[in-house]
Amino acid sequence: MKFVPIAVTALFARSAAAFSPIKPSFGTRGVAAAASAARASSTHLNANVLKLSDPAEQLLNNVDVFIFDCDGVIWRGDSLIPGIPETLAKLRALGKKMYFVTNNSTKSRAGYKKKFDSLGLDVPPEEIFSSSFAAAAYLEQTKFKETGKKVYVIGEVGIIEELDLINVPYLGGPADSGKQPDMGPGGKLIVDEDVGAVIVGFDRMVNYYKIQYAQLCINENTDCEFIATNLDAVTHLTDAQEWAGNGSMVGAIKGCTGVEPTVVGKPSPLMIDYLETKLGLDRSKICMVGDRLDTDVLFGTDNGLQSLLVLSGVTTEQKLLSPENSITPDYYADTINDFFQEPKAGATVEGSWTGAAWSAGS
């Protein structure tokens, strides 16, 4: 499967200023999300969110497009969550469109296609979007290549492969994983003055050399931009425990530069703007499904989408329903397999699942 560069400059209605640094905020719901939330009632503690109990009425009848996060929704680490292939097949049988949008930048779109294949999931490459792609798309949208500058990368091969596709020169990444700066008397690290952007993505081989190189570029090179693929606090490297996420790497660079990054992954609007403009999608019929409140759910509520949180990843029911939580999806479920559960007692369903298609009631 060959991935080719996607020219995105003409696809974004927003200016470069629209993708300014994202600071933690709770934002406002879009029209569709607000309408859906208004139908919900408080069920637990102080959270205004309902657990999915009648998927046809609450969800399937009102959504044409599902955007799924991957880690914690489709898989955990390298382990597929049970029941996912069957659920995706049922959604396709209903004619639902699906896109898989991940904040994990360690793989390119081509790399994620290989992962889907390895897990036995037949997902077309055009349905896959990663934050590594988002970083490259942002550089294209802001015409970075025309500056003649280079990119310094803290990150893995996913970012490198996406930069190769748009022919933007870069330094760092895996090539700097084994390097150490000279910290003896008079030691200093010399950086390339032509670096005009630093991209920080998840990097399992992050080291002091990379941190020092990045901070020197941002602090000393004229107009060097600090770009973060995402701010996820934790991630799923394995299915046994949570691991420190890219937020820890971004935090290191922010801490030594005092500069806020431009965030291109969720909850930034960049990827939903791309999907809406390129594919002509109606936001009011899109549902964002993820396991994180501050990225996935916020991506939905801030961008006018419906949203559903699953408990198969990093967010617990206790955290979701806590009075301290101000980010609330329209609904939540244990996993996406609950999309085809039998309606709970007292729920009314307008249709029935036959195993091959959804039969709508009159």
Residues recognised as catalytic: 64
CA max distance for the chain: 81
Contact 148, 162 (CB under 8 A): no
- Long-range CB pairs of 350-359, under 8 A, 24+ apart, other chains included: 350/56, 350/57, 350/61, 351/56, 351/61, 353/56, 353/90, 356/93, 357/93, 357/94, 358/56, 358/60, 358/93, 358/94
Judge if the upstream peptide bond of residue 267 is cis by omega within 30 degrees of 0: yes
The angle subtended at Cα 85 by Cα 79 and Cα 86, nearest 5°, is: 135
Please state, in angstroms and as integers, the Cα–Cα distance from residue 102 to each residue in 59, 67, 145, 341, following that order. Answer: 22, 10, 25, 26
Beta partners for residue 171, in sequence order: 152
Nearest Cα to Cα of residue 327 among 300, 347, 348, 346: 300
Q: E strands of the chain, at which residues?
A: 50-51, 65-68, 75-76, 79-80, 97-102, 128-130, 150-154, 170-172, 195-200, 225-228, 234-235, 243-244, 262-263, 286-290, 306-310, 331-333, 351-353, 358-360
Cα–Cα distance for residue pair 17/271, rounded to 1 Å: 15
Other C-beta atoms closer than 10 Å to the C-beta of 208 total: 13
